Amino acid sequence: MSQLLTGKTIVVMGVANERSIAWGITQSLHGQGAKLIFTYRKDRSLEKLKKLLEENRIEPKLVVQCDVSDDASIQAAFDKIGTEAGVIHGVVHSLAYADKEGLSGEFSDISRAGYMTAQDASSYSLIAVAREAKKWMTEGGSIVTQSYIGAERVVKNYNVMGVAKAALEASMRYLAEDLGKHGIRVNAVSAGAVRTLSAKGVAGFNEILSTTEERAPLRRNIDSAEVGDATMFLLSDLSRGVTGEVLHVDAGMHILGL
């Protein structure tokens, strides 16, 4: 049976452990025959990633360190990736960071430094990654980032990350326009809440899960496999006419008013 991503080389950024959304995405991409390159931030993540890949019999084309808060690190990572792969067809940007103090309490108390840190790692990083990836995306391709409804509406405690996600979605649209002339599409998946390492940093996260189960049109939460399949669709030629889009994978939560 032919697979949707046969012959495509895709860079996956953001696997920290088996709960990571990027791990759900990895499984969907692998299932469709993609050749995968991974970036990790810390040695701790590298050990976990290697173990996960081994256990799941996924042979990576390359694994490379990349700190997205550092332009030199992004440049070095994509130079290595490009030199090894020649051409890349897709990038999964599944990373974000905010100091814990910005993820609870009063929004107006966010410090300048806390605001900048969240913007830097969670939003600007997409622009810097797209710039470096573009050099090797010579056959066109697709870049997909991960957002959340807190970009569009106020979600209690999501605070500084809500503003970073709003900037991320706007950056995604500007990149879609800019890179479209090179045949590169740029989209976002807006996932519902998934219990991951990062999610633990958001105060009251369990309440979000229980409210979703009660009120979402599908009356349940989503999982990272569902986010993985939607991301895979956006990386595949099935979505060849789609760019600048935010695809909600949230059991319908985003359509609710009260």
Ligand X SMILES: NC(=O)c1ccc[n+]([C@@H]2O[C@H](COP(=O)([O-])OP(=O)(O)OC[C@H]3O[C@@H](n4cnc5c(N)ncnc54)[C@H](O)[C@@H]3O)[C@@H](O)[C@H]2O)c1
Q: List the catalytic residues.
A: 148, 158
What letter would DSSP give residue 62?
E
What is the footprint of ligand X within residues 95-134 (CB under 6 A)? 95-97, 121
Q: Which is nearer to ligand X, 136 or 148 (CB)?
A: 148
Binding mask 48-87 for ligand X (x = CB under 6 A): ------------------xxxx------------------
On whether 98 is known to bind a ligand per the annotation, the reply is yes
User: Distances in Å between the alpha carbon of 82 and those of 127, 136, 145?
Assistant: 18, 6, 20
On whether 67 is known to bind a ligand per the annotation, the reply is yes
* Least separation in angstroms between CB 245 and ligand X: 16
- 11 in helix, strand or coil? strand
Sequence-ordered alpha helix ranges (H) in 86-220 = 112-119, 125-134, 159-180, 205-215
- Closest by Cα among 122, 52, 123 to 36: 52
Q: Which is nearer to ligand X, 26 or 198 (CB)?
A: 198
- C-alpha 119/C-alpha 94 separation (Å) is 14
**What are the residues binding ligand X (CB under 6 A)?**
14-16, 19-22, 41, 45, 66-69, 94-97, 121, 146, 148, 191, 193-194, 196-199
Binding-site residue numbers for NAD(+) are 14, 20-21, 67-68, 95, 165, 194-198
